[in-house]
A and B are shown apart, each in its own frame.
Chain A
Amino acid sequence: MTLLCFDDTFDGFLTLIFESYRLKIIPDKIIGKSEEQLFLFSRPVFIPAEAEKSDRVWNKIIERTSKDNADRIYRVFMSEVPGSRMLIYEFIRLMTERNYNIEADFTLRPVLEINKLHRKVAREADRIRMFTRFQKTAEKSYFAAFSPQYNVLPLVINHFTDRFSDQEWIIYDLKRNFGFYSDKKETSRISFTDLPVNPVNGQLYESFHDPEERSFQELWRKYYNSIKIEERSNYKLHRQMLPRRFWRYLTEKG
């Protein structure tokens, strides 16, 4: 089995594709550095990221298809779903083989699969835009934490940077243990070793909260409960729109 290994970044992944073409190695599986120890008998070939090579692959995707399609590929990569990397690999193989823009040819399996998966990731990103709940801290900044299904935080961070440009905030992915911090001027990637956060519901410990935080959460719960119309109750639709896995981080469901 041919295993190619990259450094877990998108740049690394694109470099890997570049090298696989240059060295004429067709991988059976593409793995990230963090998964290396899962393989006992095969020896993965590690390919270090090189910005120049990854740029060439990225630009090639845009040239042969479109910027929109390149963004779709990025979203599929961020899904971290098993098989998604080989799917992209397959797509790029078809893209180079065929002499037309394949991005809308849904009769090709990888094109269709990429479109389905990218939509799932985009949906999760939408949900993060919707269901992020900030807690005001004693230092008058805002904190939010949750664990999205796909690695979508980097996809939505521009939205929060734009919207909350006059407040200091942190949004944290508890599952992948990284987040973003904005100091009103710049947004940067951060990682903590010991967050003062209850991992069950993403709430900061009480002593870190602004004195009014509890009241505001209570007000929001009160509002949430008085806005529903009893006669129209529809729990099935409710759960479909607001999946259970988000509940524990949602103030109104707390």
Chain B
Amino acid sequence: MITEKIFEKLKILADSAKYDVSCASSGTERPNKPGMVGNASAWGICHSFSEDGRCISLMKVMQSNNCIYDCAYCVNRRSNDHPRATFTPQEVSDLTIGFYRRNYIEGLFLSSGVLRNPDYTMEQMISTVKDLRMRHSYNGYIHMKVIPGCSRELIFEAGSWADRLSVNMEIASEENLKFLAPEKNYEGILKPIRMITDRISENREDRRKYRKVNKFTPAGQSTQLIIGATPENDRTILSLAGKLYSHRKLKRVYYSGYIPVNDYDRRLPVLSSPPLQREHRLYQADWLLRFYGFSVDEIVNEQHPDLDLVFDPKMNYALRNPELFPVDVNRADYQMLLKVPGIGVHSANLIVTSRRYSRLNSDHLKKIGVVMKRAQYFITCNELGPLRKVTGLDPELVRHLMLSGQKPSGAIQLPLYQPAELYDKYLK
């Protein structure tokens, strides 16, 4: 039965859960089983988009927004005077199945404030997903938060029901975490992350030996870092993310621009708006790490510890390393093509396949989807037109040309003049 109370609880507990940015439903391919409802598709499906432009794929709710902790950055901290509610396991599973059968959602994202103690909270969450899987024969996607400090057995049980587990790191350095959340420490957060990583690889081994072994978190684990609440630079953040990807085999690290939810707390910075541009650049850098074969040091280094807000990280890499360019699109290998600003994974693939048949010129590249506005300075292609190149130009000038948003006009003779003259000529 749907009562007025359910409406109220859903409003409170969805509102409390919204600051968790993860919403991916990808990573598991699981066909439907007879007599059950649901499947999981490897690429994930969004079902709606909220007015902040974010994808709504999973029903994101908290079991409860009561919490025994008092973390400065969290909207649900103990000392906040804020409407509180707790769902029973049945209420969450009934709602999830009602939404799922109407194709509103791709699955459930279940999180919770810490009630009484971590073990008790985890038990509540597990009974929710268990009820969903058993009573409702639900075969769709489930993402579960792990409460740091809960027992090993509970993590293992959670992972046997859920597709993905996540433990949020929140703050990218231990010192600042302790400053904002004195009740937490890094060891407490890293321990469950390690346990999940180890269990996943153990499970993979077991499945190789015995086919009947059930999968453990088939979609892997993820985490979230809050950006801008503490003074860490992007290098610290990306190094941590890089390590989580390589050592702990995380599937995703999410970056969440800090939204001043507790502006009365003096330990937090005063921001006029959330650092959305910085967050965007971090995601771009994250993509470079995961799909473009970049290393953290290529993106940020000692001289440039922060990402540039004006240009994307790949553009900056290219401008810092002009000696690597221009790249000949008809010869360069795939890895090198990926390093060119304006060429993405999709267009690099198309370049590699179509250049087998004929030499590519800039017209082909445009049709393939290369962003010539950026790429023109870094490539050579079939024609020998006097296109501007970063090697002939000062990288600083390329910067200015990019900013002025000019279209290339092939007829202009370039480049070996004094930069000052060039400015006069092009930057009117």
Q: Mark A120-163, 1 if CB is under 8 A from B, else 0.
A: 00000010011111111000001010000000000000010011
The range of chain A's interface size is 35 or more
Contacts of B276 in A (CB 8 A): 232
Give the residues from 184 to 220 in chain A that come closer than 8 angstroms, CB to CB, to chain B: 212, 215-216, 218-220
A227 near B14 with CB under 8 A, answer yes
Q: Give CA–CA (A162, B39) in the complex, Å.
A: 7
A166 near B36 with CB under 8 A, answer yes
B98 near A216 with CB under 8 A, answer yes
Q: Give CA–CA (A164, B273) in the complex, Å.
A: 43
Which one, A100, A159, A219, A252, contacts B48 given CB within 8 A?
A252
Q: Give CA–CA (A105, B54) in the complex, Å.
A: 36
Q: How far is the CB of A7 from chain B (nearest CB, A)?
A: 33
Given A134-B101, A142-B102, A223-B10, also A105-B357 (CB < 8 A):
yes
Given A129-B45, A130-B46, also A107-B52 (CB < 8 A):
no
Cβ-based interface call for B367 (8 A): yes
Supplied contacts A133-B104, A219-B6, A229-B259, 15 more A-B pairs, CB within 8 Å: A100-B357, A106-B367, A107-B358, A112-B367, A131-B48, A135-B102, A136-B101, A142-B102, A165-B37, A166-B36, A219-B7, A227-B14, A238-B51, A242-B49, A251-B102
Q: How far is the CB of A90 from chain B (nearest CB, A)?
A: 16
Cβ-based interface call for A235 (8 A): yes
Contacts of B45 in A (CB 8 A): 126, 129-130
Given A142-B101, A162-B32, A238-B49, also A228-B18 (CB < 8 A):
yes
Contacts of A241 in B (CB 8 A): 46, 49, 53, 55
Task: Give the total number of A-B pairs whose CB atoms are below 8 A apart.
Answer: 156
Residue of A nearest to B140 (CB): A163
A163 near B354 with CB under 8 A, answer no
Contacts of A235 in B (CB 8 A): 51, 53
Contacts of B353 in A (CB 8 A): 104, 106
Contacts of B137 in A (CB 8 A): 166
Give the residues from 36 to 61 in chain B that come closer than 8 angstroms, CB to CB, to chain A: 36-39, 41, 45-56, 59-60
Residue of A nearest to B55 (CB): A241
Cβ-based interface call for A224 (8 A): yes
Cβ-based interface call for A42 (8 A): no
Q: How far is the CB of B334 from chain A (nearest CB, A)?
A: 15
A131 near B32 with CB under 8 A, answer no
A105 near B358 with CB under 8 A, answer yes
Q: How far is the CB of B61 from chain A (nearest CB, A)?
A: 8
Given A224-B48, A232-B259, also A106-B354 (CB < 8 A):
yes
Most buried by A among B10, B53, B137, B358: B53
Contacts of B98 in A (CB 8 A): 212, 216, 219
Q: How far is the CB of A109 from chain B (nearest CB, A)?
A: 9
Q: Give CA–CA (A167, B38) in the complex, Å.
A: 10
Which one, B17, B19, B48, contacts A250 given CB within 8 A?
B48
Cβ-based interface call for B294 (8 A): no
Q: Mark B326-369, 1 if CB is under 8 A from A, else 0.
A: 00000000000000000000000010011011101000100110
Which one, B32, B51, B259, B273, contacts A228 given CB within 8 A?
B51
Given A106-B368, A212-B2, also A223-B14 (CB < 8 A):
yes
A-B contact list, 27 entries, CB within 8 Å? A106-B367, A106-B368, A107-B360, A130-B48, A136-B102, A162-B32, A163-B140, A164-B103, A166-B35, A166-B37, A167-B37, A212-B2, A218-B7, A222-B7, A223-B10, A224-B48, A226-B18, A227-B17, A228-B18, A229-B18, A229-B19, A231-B274, A232-B54, A232-B259, A234-B51, A242-B49, A252-B104
Cβ-based interface call for A233 (8 A): yes
Which one, A163, A216, A242, contacts B39 given CB within 8 A?
A163
Which one, B7, B38, B50, B368, contacts A224 given CB within 8 A?
B50
Most buried by B among A132, A136, A232, A242: A232
Contacts of A162 in B (CB 8 A): 31-32, 39
Residue of B nearest to A213 (CB): B102
Contacts of A219 in B (CB 8 A): 2, 6-7, 10, 95, 98-99
Cβ-based interface call for A38 (8 A): no
Most buried by A among B7, B18, B38, B48: B48
Q: Give CA–CA (A237, B280) in the complex, Å.
A: 14
Cβ-based interface call for B11 (8 A): yes
B364 near A106 with CB under 8 A, answer yes
B18 near A227 with CB under 8 A, answer yes
A226 near B11 with CB under 8 A, answer yes
Given A163-B39, A219-B6, A238-B52, also A132-B368 (CB < 8 A):
no
Q: Give CA–CA (A162, B38) in the complex, Å.
A: 8
Q: Give CA–CA (A133, B54) in the complex, Å.
A: 19
Q: Give CA–CA (A218, B98) in the complex, Å.
A: 12
Q: How far is the CB of A111 from chain B (nearest CB, A)?
A: 9
Q: Mark B245-285, 1 if CB is under 8 A from A, else 0.
A: 00000000000010100000000000001101000000000
Q: Mark B356-386, 1 if CB is under 8 A from A, else 0.
A: 1110100010011000000000000000000
Contacts of B405 in A (CB 8 A): none
Most buried by B among A159, A216, A226, A237: A226
Cβ-based interface call for B187 (8 A): no
Cβ-based interface call for B410 (8 A): no
Which one, B15, B34, B49, B356, contacts A226 given CB within 8 A?
B15
Given A219-B10, A232-B259, also A224-B56 (CB < 8 A):
yes
Q: How far is the CB of A158 from chain B (nearest CB, A)?
A: 11
Residue of A nearest to B360 (CB): A107
B354 near A105 with CB under 8 A, answer yes
A216 near B99 with CB under 8 A, answer yes
Most buried by A among B45, B52, B273: B52
Q: Give CA–CA (A232, B271) in the complex, Å.
A: 13
Residue of B nearest to A103 (CB): B353
Which one, A107, A167, A227, contacts B101 given CB within 8 A?
A167
